[in-house]
């Protein structure tokens, strides 16, 4: 399978002002994005996405992808629904194949599967629906009508690990991931390596929740970590990660002077950490490892519209292509400078960030 890094088209999207990571989506957005201003361009192209179990409003991975489709719909005067752009929400893993088939049989030209959990389902459906274009995010499926979209998550995680290692006052740092998988292990390995690069004395507590849709489990693990002295937790757990924010904000509400932080993932999750205590504003989001799923979705969709769909290829978005970013949020200029220095070392090949814990 051909593999390429994709920079030019991505940079064009970034330059055009399609940065959506910090924009947030409330429940009303589930009903469509048709109220956005249009560029005046129109298209008879149609595109949809199938979420994993985290749902379209997970404040993270799925939501970023949906924001990308909403922006595409606004740019090309597409309406939400069949014949335009839409999403299919998966409430459990059994919904994946059903939703992918439904999308294909409703004649959507391009169907995205959001998340590595859809790898086998999308291959199954793509073999049956050969005339439909599919795109899989965060995994590789070797079929001619599937484009595989990947990111250098480990490198972005390394950089927020650098930030955590420099910021911590307790030298106790947590990581909460979803399933025990190659993808989540990439996040954990990169993060651990980043912390250790600047703070070898720090202890990193790594826990996996077993899923991406259990906010209560995320809060429970966060309570244990913060209770054990951790002052920073990085989550890579989708909707489960909202529980980490809940616990951090609860603790901040009780002790406003306590330094306690969360590192967000996929989207800029600054707004998830905002709270007010006795009239004073605080934010428990230290930074976020921003993974531009929104721009990747627009990028591949535009290529499909123009007859240049990269079926059978792996398209990788990384730091150099600005597909991976570190949000500034509560980082000091000193830490930002260090993060930038390590970023350049990664780009220059001076640092080889590990892909696995081993």
3-class secondary-structure state, position 254: helix
Structure tokens that stand for 257 in this block: 């002077």
* Domain map (residue ranges) of the chain: 2-151+292-317, 153-290+328-347
Q: What angle do CA 157, 161, 164 make, to 5 degrees?
A: 140
The pLDDT value given to residue 113: 98
| Cα(177)–Cα(218) distance, integer angstroms | 9
State yes or no: pLDDT of 24 exceeds 50. no
Taking residues 169-180, what's their average pLDDT?
96
The pLDDT value given to residue 160: 98
State yes or no: pLDDT of 33 exceeds 50. no
The pLDDT value given to residue 157: 98
CATH of 153-290+328-347, one of 1.10.510.10, 3.40.50.300, 3.40.50.2300, 3.90.550.10: 3.40.50.2300
State yes or no: pLDDT of 175 exceeds 90. yes
State yes or no: pLDDT of 170 exceeds 70. yes
| Cα(327)–Cα(285) distance, integer angstroms | 10
The pLDDT value given to residue 42: 55
Burial readout 249-275 (b: 16 or more C-beta within 10 A, e: otherwise): bbbbeeeeeeebbbbbbbbbbbebbeb
Write the pLDDT tens digit of every residue in 303-320: 999 999 999 999 999 999
Q: Residue 8: which pLDDT band, with cuts at 50, 70 and 90? A: very low
Write the pLDDT tens digit of every residue in 195-205: 999 999 999 99
Structure tokens that stand for 248 in this block: 């951090």
Among candidate residues 189, 146, 187, the one with its CA nearest the CA of residue 356:
189
Q: Do 21 and 268 contact (CB within 8 A), yes or no? A: yes
**112: part of which helix (H) or strand (E)?**
strand 110-114
Write the pLDDT tens digit of every residue in 117-153: 999 999 999 999 999 999 999 999 999 999 999 999 9
State yes or no: pLDDT of 32 exceeds 70. no
pTM: 0.84
The pLDDT value given to residue 29: 38
Highest mean pLDDT among 40-44, 194-198, 265-269: 194-198
Taking residues 318-344, what's their average pLDDT?
96
3-class secondary-structure state, position 91: coil
DSSP 152-188: -HHHHHHHHHHHHHHH-SSSEEEEEESSSSHHHHHHH
The pLDDT value given to residue 123: 98
Q: Which CATH superfamily is domain 2-151+292-317 in?
A: Response regulator (3.40.50.2300)
Domains 2-151+292-317 and 153-290+328-347 share a fold: yes
State yes or no: pLDDT of 15 exceeds 60. no
């Amino acid at each position: 399978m051909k593999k390429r890094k994709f920079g030019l088209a991505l940079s064009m999207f970034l330059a055009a002002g399609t940065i959506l990571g910090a924009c947030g989506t409330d429940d009303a957005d589930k009903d469509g994005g048709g109220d956005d201003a249009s560029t005046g361009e129109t298209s008879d192209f149609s595109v949809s996405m199938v979420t994993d179990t985290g749902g379209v409003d997970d404040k993270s991975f799925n939501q970023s992808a949906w924001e990308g489709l909403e922006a595409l719909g606004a740019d090309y005067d597409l309406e939400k629904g069949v014949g335009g752009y839409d999403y299919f929400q998966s409430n459990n893993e059994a919904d994946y194949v059903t939703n992918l088939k439904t999308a294909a049989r409703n004649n959507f030209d391009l169907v995205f599967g959001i998340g590595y959990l859809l790898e086998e389902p999308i291959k199954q459906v793509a073999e049956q629906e050969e005339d439909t274009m599919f795109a899989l995010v965060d995994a590789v499926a070797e079929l001619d009508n599937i484009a595989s979209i990947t990111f250098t998550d480990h490198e972005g995680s390394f950089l927020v690990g650098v930030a955590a290692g420099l910021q911590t006052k307790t030298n106790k740092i947590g990581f909460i991931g979803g399933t025990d998988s190659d993808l989540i292990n990439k996040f954990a390995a990169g993060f651990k390596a980043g912390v250790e690069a600047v703070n070898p004395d720090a202890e990193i507590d790594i826990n996996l929740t077993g899923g991406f849709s259990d906010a209560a489990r995320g809060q429970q693990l966060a309570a244990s970590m913060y209770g054990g002295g951790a002052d920073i937790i990085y989550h890579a757990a989708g909707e489960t990660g909202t529980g980490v924010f809940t616990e951090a904000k609860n603790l901040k509400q009780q002790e406003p002077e306590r330094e306690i932080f969360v590192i967000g993932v996929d989207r800029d999750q600054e707004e998830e950490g905002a709270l007010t205590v006795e009239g004073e504003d605080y934010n428990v989001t230290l930074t976020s490892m921003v993974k531009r799923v929104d721009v990747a979705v627009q990028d591949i969709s535009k290529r499909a519209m123009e007859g240049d769909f990269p079926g059978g290829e792996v398209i990788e978005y990384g730091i150099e292509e600005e597909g991976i970013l570190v949000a500034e949020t509560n980082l000091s200029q000193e830490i930002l400078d260090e993060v930038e220095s390590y970023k350049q070392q990664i780009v220059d090949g001076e640092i080889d960030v590990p892909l696995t814990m081993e």
